[in-house]
Structure 1
Amino acid sequence: MNDNHARLSPALVETIAGLAAGTSSTLAVHPLDVIKTRLQIQRNTSTTPVNAFGILRALLKNDRPIQSLYRGLTPNLVGNASSWAIFFYFKSIIESQLLLFHNRVHPSAFITHDGSTTASRNELSPADYFLASGISGTLITLSTNPIWVLKTRMLSSDKGSEGAYESMWHGARQVFRNEGLRGFYRGAGISLLGNSHGAVQFAVYEPLKNVWRRYLAREEPERAEGQQLEKLGNTATLVISGSAKIVAGSVTYPYQVIRSRLQTYHSEARFGKGIRGVASKIWKEEGWRGFYRGLGTNIVRVLPATWVTFLVYENVRYYVPRLGEQR
């Protein structure tokens, strides 16, 4: 830990940065999330194919288009903002513990070329980042799955339609009354499997950051002694975060389709029972393409969301400790 983080713990800084990042990205791309969710729950049994532009036109033709585009914003905002905040909090703690573990087991791994020692994040391996992100994601999934159930159902329906929830709190009451506590954990199993997405993403993102910083250290050795390398440049953040997201999204996207179908209204009657039932029905009715419904929209959605998230995250985690110092 450097002097800039002396007043605020690294975990608290990560929490603040995650909260700001999750809030900003959710507000920016929520309409695309509505479209993506509705694409994911469409079954390809109609002669007229449903696409993103068709769903967008239908939303805009609604009497209240802005409300339609931001349907379900409350659970999405609460879920994303809290998830990112808690995720980065636990990720920071777990990474610190991994560093301490490696330092005790292999102390020589923390000796630099000039003989000094370091406890820099750069010493963690991709496997360490994968493990830290996977554990953090599991904790988030177990604590926020009820929010995602409500969000999926609200995004997949128009306000005022039959059975649609009037608000997040109305939805929570309906789920508890009709389905009990188990209703809040629909799709939890597939979401736990989906933690591999975040684990893969950070197993790519963090090592790429380290590679970039080592490159800058070689190109500008006078800066390597200062604090400037702690903050990524905005261009580097866009490239690295986008690359990591594309890799993770391409590998793990099918679980999102299965999860959306598990969590939506009357899921068992419409899509099958459990992960195996839903997956079997998708394969039988739509083939392998069914597992990638909404992928194009998802790529369009996740890249801006990822860029906003990580630009805000990297800047907030860099400047918040310095604002504290100026007081």
Structure 2
Amino acid sequence: MSDALINGVSGAGGGIIAQLITYPLQTVNTRQQTERDLSKSINRDGTLKQMFQVVKQEGWGRLYGGLTPSLVGTAASQGVYYYFYQIFRDRAELVSLARQRKGIGDGSLGMLQSLVVASLAGSVNVLLTNPIWVIVTRMQTFKKNKKALQKHDLPTVTTEVQNVAAEPLRYGILDVIKELYDEAGLLGFWKGVFPTLIMVCNPAIQFMLYESMLKKLKKNRASNMKGAEGLTAIEIFLFGAVAKLGATVATYPLLVVKSRLQAKQGLHIDKRHRYRGTWDAITKMIRYEGLFQFYKGMGTKIVQSVFAAAVLFMIKEELVKMARLLLTRDLTRKNSSRLEPSRP
């Protein structure tokens, strides 16, 4: 098994576990980002209170709306990202070693090289997995109001209740796929791809910070470690958390724009909140809602993404170590059996 495949599978496993732990926070955060009515309580209440409101009004299941495609998307995204990241990194390291033999550099990757490697891996990941995340966003932002559904047959029904009652009682993956295709054909599955491609700088910054901290620690310890080998799980957890915190704060406004574009934009929505594209969304948000809206829900996102990233890094590196150890033992056992003399 290649090193790139080991990293890809380990990244997928770590991503799934991190997603399962933090998914309710992600659902609430997506709703915070896409809520356009400034008067609603979702803009004022704390994260925990908003979670209780979702449970009270829509049931526990809504906190996990879109979990299945999200787990598929997480496994695919992390697997693709780490697979290509390792491939690009290995090639970049070969170039650096070749330069070192010519007397240029020390043979290791610098911050700029790490940034380029992470950006290339992120771009490949975005182009391949964007349709999955559009589906997840739609399912996370779908709302059903139990009280409204119970009263929708009364003679005097408000417009809001009519809109809720018109929504399907079930909103599964196939419903979302049909809805997206009816809206914009195949291109509908790549809604928000441009800000998402720009958002590649988030994991790029994250990995640049992470690798830089690892490199500095290795230098201070004067060791010959490669990657994260030799570090404790707690150290990896903390490095992953700090790296993700810096990346999230730097790129959060783009994440809000991406979520706005991927969420459903029904005909009943005010024209001020219907977007034709990335630039149209940015200008309308600034004009009608103010710069503050680009940071809606950032507190929730920091808690969710920083904790998820820290868990992912920690579990991924432990899985990589286990896989390499098992492969080494297997290889040693095979070599030993070949060297043993055959019995008469």
TM-score tier by shorter-chain length is 0.7 to 0.9
Q: How does 1:146-161 map to 2 (within 5 A)?
A: 146-158=131-143
Q: Distance in 1 between matches of 2:5 and 2:277?
A: 38
User: How far 1:199 moved relative to its partner?
Assistant: 0.8
Contact 1:71 1:158 in 2 (8 A): no
1:262 aligns with 2:247: no
Q: Distance in 2 between matches of 1:317 and 1:216?
A: 22
- The equivalent of 2:98 in structure 1 is 104
SS across alignment from 1:251: helix
Percent of aligned positions that are identical: 27
- The equivalent of 2:110 in structure 1 is 125
- The equivalent of 1:115 in structure 2 is none
1:34 aligns with 2:37: no
- The equivalent of 1:302 in structure 2 is 305
Q: Distance in 1 between matches of 2:218 and 2:59?
A: 48
Higher mean alpha-carbon deviation, 177-186 vs 199-208, is at 177-186
Q: Distance in 2 between matches of 1:238 and 1:38?
A: 28
Higher mean alpha-carbon deviation, 171-180 vs 185-194, is at 171-180
Consecutive unaligned residues of structure 1, counting only runs of 5 or more, are: 1-7, 113-118, 218-223
Higher mean alpha-carbon deviation, 138-147 vs 159-168, is at 159-168
User: How far 1:176 moved relative to its partner?
Assistant: 1.6
1:287 aligns with 2:290: yes
Q: Distance in 2 between matches of 1:175 and 1:272?
A: 15
- The equivalent of 2:231 in structure 1 is 232
* Alpha-carbon distance change, 244 to 285 in structure 1, aligned in 2, over 3 angstroms: same
Amino acid at match of 2:323: V
Normalised TM-score (structure 1): 0.86
- The equivalent of 1:23 in structure 2 is 16
- The equivalent of 2:54 in structure 1 is 59
1:137 aligns with 2:122: yes
Consecutive unaligned residues of structure 2, counting only runs of 5 or more, are: 146-163, 331-344
**Larger Rg computed on CA atoms:** 2
- The equivalent of 1:12 in structure 2 is 5
User: How far 1:109 moved relative to its partner?
Assistant: 5.8
- The equivalent of 1:216 in structure 2 is 221
User: How far 1:47 moved relative to its partner?
Assistant: 6.6
Q: Distance in 1 between matches of 2:89 and 2:227?
A: 22
Q: Deviations over 1:262-305 (max 9, x none)?
A: 01001794342211111112112232211100101001111210
User: How far 1:169 moved relative to its partner?
Assistant: 2.7
- The equivalent of 1:82 in structure 2 is 76
SS across alignment from 1:212: helix
1:318 aligns with 2:321: yes
User: How far 1:63 moved relative to its partner?
Assistant: 5.8
Q: Distance in 1 between matches of 2:227 and 2:56?
A: 50
Q: Deviations over 1:114-165 (max 9, x none)?
A: xxxxx7xxx1111111101101111111111111111101001136854466
Q: Distance in 2 between matches of 1:189 and 1:61?
A: 36
Contact 2:126 2:197 in 1 (8 A): yes
Higher mean alpha-carbon deviation, 260-269 vs 157-166, is at 157-166
Q: Distance in 2 between matches of 1:54 and 1:187?
A: 29
Q: Deviations over 1:67-122 (max 9, x none)?
A: 1111110121111111011101001110111122223344256997xxxxxx7xxx
Q: Distance in 2 between matches of 1:16 and 1:132?
A: 19
Normalised TM-score (structure 2): 0.82
Amino acid at match of 1:133: A
* Alpha-carbon distance change, 15 to 231 in structure 1, aligned in 2, over 3 angstroms: farther
* Alpha-carbon distance change, 185 to 225 in structure 1, aligned in 2, over 3 angstroms: closer
Contact 2:218 2:224 in 1 (8 A): no
- The equivalent of 2:243 in structure 1 is 244
- The equivalent of 2:161 in structure 1 is none
User: How far 1:250 moved relative to its partner?
Assistant: 0.8
- The equivalent of 1:46 in structure 2 is 39
Aligned pair count reads 304
Higher mean alpha-carbon deviation, 284-293 vs 158-167, is at 158-167
Q: Distance in 2 between matches of 1:31 and 1:229?
A: 30
RMSD of aligned residue pairs (Cα, Å): 2.4
Higher mean alpha-carbon deviation, 96-105 vs 147-156, is at 96-105
Contact 1:31 1:70 in 2 (8 A): yes
Amino acid at match of 1:58: Q
Amino acid at match of 1:38: R
* Alpha-carbon distance change, 228 to 44 in structure 1, aligned in 2, over 3 angstroms: closer
